[in-house]
């Protein structure tokens, strides 16, 4: 029987490795569609790590919202745009050495400062949801609408600004574009559209008694 703690640790490292590998794939894969797919994998394995941390709601939300909606949209955009891959990657090799050096320095600093080496990374205390004896989602909902109400509302405001900005930057009133005016259509009066005209009955050409060709001259002089 495997020790549950050990199992958790193994899972954590496995998912962590997949996350880092997939994230590397996002920036290094040649094909843009593959890059997006490996971003999906990054999100998925991150969600698994969150599950290990007992943040079930966040994990599901990450998969439903990001993988299910945002990344699918991303994939559509990437497929439709037909990006010239050579052009995008132009500066990659040139900046690679500098990038690697900076990344290595930062990694070294982070490892030294955060104390991974000394293995004194500690847990942040008990999970508040378990302490209260409620499910993760319930606890999150409670916290969001009481303790974190103000940030929650500000986030809503930020989304509003996003909508306003998107409309302001993309809405164009093009000259010459034809569109319908619903209010004009609804308020129209039947008399403006259809005019009833009284006129003498006319017969179709085939039914009309054809006047005899030779006697045309006689007919004209008749009245």
Partner 1 sequence: MPNMNDILILLPELYLVVAACVLLLLDAFMTPARRGVLHWLSIGVLLIAMYLVVAGQPEQTVTAFNGMFVRDRVAEILKVFALLSTALVFVYARPYLIDRKLYVGEFYTLTIFAVIGIMLLVSAGNLLTVYLGLELLTLSSYALVALNRDSSLSSEAAIKYFVLGALASGMLLYGMSMVYGATGTLDLVQLHTAAVHNTMPNLLLFGLIFMIVGIGFKLGAAPFHMWIPDVYQGSPTAVTIFIGSAPKLAAFGMAYRLLESGMGDPSIAHHWQQMLAVLAVLSLAIGNLVAIVQTNLKRVLAYSTISHMGYLLLGLASANSEGYAAAMFYAISYALMGTAAFGVILALARAGFECEEVDDLKGLNQRSPWLAFLMLLVMFSLAGVPPMFGFFAKLMVLQAAVNAGMLWLAIVGAVFAIIGLYYYLRVVKVMYFDKPVEGTEHKPQADVSLRFVLSLNAFALLVMGFCWGPLLEWCKSAFAA
Residues in contact with partner 1 by CB under 8 A are 109-110, 112-115, 124-125, 146-151, 154-155, 157-158, 160-162, 164-165, 167-169
Q: In whole angstroms, how close is the CB of 152 to partner 1 at the nearest point?
A: 9
Nearer to partner 1, 81 or 167 (CB): 167
Q: Is 194 helix (H, G, I), strand (E, B) or coil?
A: coil
CA–CA separation, 53 and 168 (whole Å): 41
Nearer to partner 1, 79 or 155 (CB): 155
- Which residue, 64, 69, 93, 77, is CA-closest to 35? 77
CB 86 within 8 A of CB 48: no
Q: In whole angstroms, how close is the CB of 106 to partner 1 at the nearest point?
A: 11
Q: In whole angstroms, how close is the CB of 190 to partner 1 at the nearest point?
A: 29
Q: In whole angstroms, how close is the CB of 157 to partner 1 at the nearest point?
A: 6
Owner of token pair 């037909």: 82
Nearer to partner 1, 3 or 126 (CB): 126
Nearer to partner 1, 168 or 196 (CB): 168
CA–CA separation, 136 and 122 (whole Å): 21
- Which residue, 96, 2, 194, 124, is CA-closest to 11? 2
């Amino acid at each position: 029987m495997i020790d549950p703690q050990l199992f958790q640790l193994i899972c954590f490292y496995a998912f962590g490795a997949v996350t880092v590998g997939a994230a590397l794939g996002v920036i290094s894969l040649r094909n843009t569609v593959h890059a997006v797919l490996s971003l999906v994998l990054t999100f998925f394995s991150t969600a698994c790590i969150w599950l290990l941390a007992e943040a079930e709601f966040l994990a599901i939300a990450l998969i439903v919202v990001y993988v299910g909606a945002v990344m699918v949209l991303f994939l559509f955009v990437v497929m439709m745009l037909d990006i010239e891959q050579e052009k995008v990657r132009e500066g990659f090799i040139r900046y690679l050495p500098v990038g690697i050096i900076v990344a290595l320095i930062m990694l070294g600093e982070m490892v030294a400062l955060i104390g991974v080496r000394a293995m004194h990374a500690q847990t942040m205390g008990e999970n508040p949801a378990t302490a209260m004896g409620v499910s993760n989602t319930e606890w999150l909902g409670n916290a969001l609408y009481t303790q974190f109400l103000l940030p929650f509302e500000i986030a809503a405001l930020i989304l509003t600004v996003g909508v306003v900005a998107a409309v302001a930057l993309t809405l164009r009133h093009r000259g010459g574009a034809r569109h319908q005016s619903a209010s004009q259509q609804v308020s129209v009066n039947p008399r403006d559209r259809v005019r009833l005209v009284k006129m003498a009955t006319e017969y179709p050409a085939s039914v009309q008694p054809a006047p005899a060709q030779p006697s045309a001259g006689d007919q004209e002089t008749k009245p």
